[in-house]
């Protein structure tokens, strides 16, 4: 089953009330409207694209150690995945799919890291709950996401809805702003050039990790010349 199949299956169960939490039609309408507004804003189309230079970064992992882009790229290309947080079930499904693809990514000469705005303790929860073998980095106030052009401000009605769901993002992220990254996945070459970019303003739709492998194959061949 592809990642998108799994996401679609979860969405169907959620929207049809098959999960313990049953959303009302009004709640579903708020979520769908917020997604449509984000798509219509065109923000995803203005994010960094293939051929752009990836912003430099030094972010803390779940154990408080700084991880720097230049050090990662010294060991090969990088798969960089932005996700919303441990509270997002769609993100957790994606993280599990990335973990399943991790060995193939490493076999193709690349590394894998994920980035979210949440605190280190919540990154540890992400790793533990999803049994991840790759680093989760904390992006305070989503500043790296902003540098990639994927940070957005949540609308007020969605904020109130999330509060009702118990998603206390100011606590999870140690940031009162209610800003998040759009889910996004990048492949960054050793020269910091972006070789693959996929930004998902609809958080329920995400590419399968398998699409990364041909990109990594191409980068490996280019480096071998």
Q: Supply the DSSP string of 7-32, one letter for each residue.
A: HHHHHHHHHTT-SSS---HHHHHHHH
For the chain, domains (ranges, CATH) are 24-224 (3.40.30.10)
- Within a 13 Å sphere around the CA of 92, how many CA atoms are in the beta-carbon half? 15
Q: What Cα–Cα distance (Å) separates residue 109 from each residue in 68, 75, 104, 164, 181?
A: 18, 8, 9, 44, 27
**Average pLDDT of span 90-96:** 98
Please report which confidence band the pLDDT of residue 181 belongs to, taking 50, 70 and 90 as the band edges: very high
CB–CB of 203/88 below 8 Å? yes
- Average pLDDT over the chain, rounded to whole? 96
Q: Which residues contact 168 (CB under 8 A, 6 or more apart)?
A: none
Q: What Cα–Cα distance (Å) separates residue 57 from each residue in 23, 45, 121, 137?
A: 38, 22, 20, 11
Strands (E), 14-122: 58-61, 66-68, 78-82, 111-116
Residue 114 has pLDDT above 90, yes or no: yes
The DSSP symbol for 86 reads T
Residue 224 has pLDDT above 70, yes or no: no
Residue 18 has pLDDT above 50, yes or no: yes
Residue 225 has pLDDT above 50, yes or no: no
**Average pLDDT of span 89-112:** 97
Which bin fits 216, alpha (ψ -120 to 50), beta or left (φ > 0)? alpha
Q: Could you read off the pLDDT of 32-68 as tens digits, one per residue? A: 999 999 999 999 999 999 999 999 999 999 999 999 9
Residue 220, SS3 per DSSP:
helix
Please report which confidence band the pLDDT of residue 95 belongs to, taking 50, 70 and 90 as the band edges: very high
Q: Could you read off the pLDDT of 72-82 as tens digits, one per residue? A: 999 999 999 99
Q: What are phi and psi of 112, to 5 degrees?
A: -130, 125
């Amino acid at each position: 089953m592809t990642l998108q199949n799994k996401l679609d299956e979860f969405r169907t169960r959620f929207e049809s009330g098959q999960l313990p939490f049953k959303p009302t039609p009004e709640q579903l309408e708020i979520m769908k409207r917020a997604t449509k507004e984000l798509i219509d804003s065109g923000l995803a189309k203005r994010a960094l694209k293939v051929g752009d230079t990836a912003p430099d970064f030094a972010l803390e992992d779940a154990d408080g150690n700084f991880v720097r882009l230049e050090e990662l790229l010294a060991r090969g290309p990088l798969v960089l995945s932005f996700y919303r947080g441990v509270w997002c079930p769609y993100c957790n499904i994606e993280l599990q799919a990335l973990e399943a693809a991790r060995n193939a990514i490493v076999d193709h000469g690349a590394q894998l890291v994920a980035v979210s705005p949440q605190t280190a303790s919540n990154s540890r929860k992400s790793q533990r709950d999803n049994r991840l073998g790759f680093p989760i980095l904390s992006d305070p106030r989503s500043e790296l996401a902003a540098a990639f052009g994927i940070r957005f401000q949540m609308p007020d009605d969605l904020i109130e809805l999330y509060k009702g769901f118990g998603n206390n993002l100011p606590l999870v992220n140690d940031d009162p702003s209610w800003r998040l990254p759009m889910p996004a996945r990048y492949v960054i070459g050793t020269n910091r050039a972006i070789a693959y970019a996929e930004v998902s303003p609809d958080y329920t739709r995400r590419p399968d990790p398998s699409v990364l492998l041909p990109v990594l194959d191409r980068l490996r061949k280019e480096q071998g010349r």
